[in-house]
Amino acid sequence: MKTIHTNNNEIIDIESVFKRLNEGLSEINQSLALVCAGGFVMQWHGYRATIDIDAFYNSNAEIDLLIKKVGDEFSINRPDAIWLNNSIINMNPTPPEEYCKIIYHFPNLAVKIVGIIYLVGMKLENAREQDIVDVGDILKHENNSQPLELLSKLFDMKFNIDVSILLDAYEKAHGMDWLDDFYVKNQTKLCQYF
């Protein structure tokens, strides 16, 4: 069961929230397609929990009001944030369909998530401290010790990644000794990125 925390620290099934959002969309004769990213995708894959859901979607006044209403019904809105928001569009372009998968599909609501590698690319491009920590957690959990292979995949996905930020995440995942060893073994290959 995928969950979200209420303001009272209760845990509720996120699918029930999306079902209620779908019902509300039906009532106002609207449809909505979400592409979720950020902490929700991390949680979906078994990493840290999230308090809100960042998603790419087209908004209007009716949909914004409905999202707030559903959040109030489930007590999942925060004083400073609504449970579902599309502010992520200010930091990232909408992910291409090929890097997304549907996790819930209702008559008026489709909920997709980006793949974990695509999320890594988004986080490395944004390069906030929490993003680097998150990427380090993913790399450690996936036992990924191939920075240049990952970098190549991210370039193929059209990300513009600073290799030093990527290596910072690998240092968080595997430690400074690992990173020193990687530098020694890959010095020539790394020269093309600096």
pLDDT in tens, 110-145: 999 999 999 999 999 999 999 999 999 999 999 999
pLDDT, tens digit, for every residue of 76-114? 998 888 999 999 998 889 999 999 999 999 999 999 999
pTM above 0.75? yes
What pLDDT shows up at residue 122?
A: 96
Rounded CA separation 29/54 (Å): 23
How confident is the model at residue 142, as a pLDDT? 92
Instruction: Tell me the pLDDT band of 22, cut-offs 50, 70 and 90.
Output: very high
| Phi, psi torsion values for 145, nearest 5 degrees | -125, 35
Cβ neighbours, 10 Å, residue 18: 22
Q: Please tell me whether residue 100 adopts helix, strand or coil conformation.
A: strand
Burial environment of residue 108 by CB neighbours within 10 A (0 to 12, 13 to 18, 19 or more)? middle
Instruction: Write down the pLDDT at residue 152.
Output: 96
Instruction: Look at the block and give the residue holding tokens 């999942």.
Output: 76
Residue 35: name the closest of 53, 15, 60, 9 by CA: 53
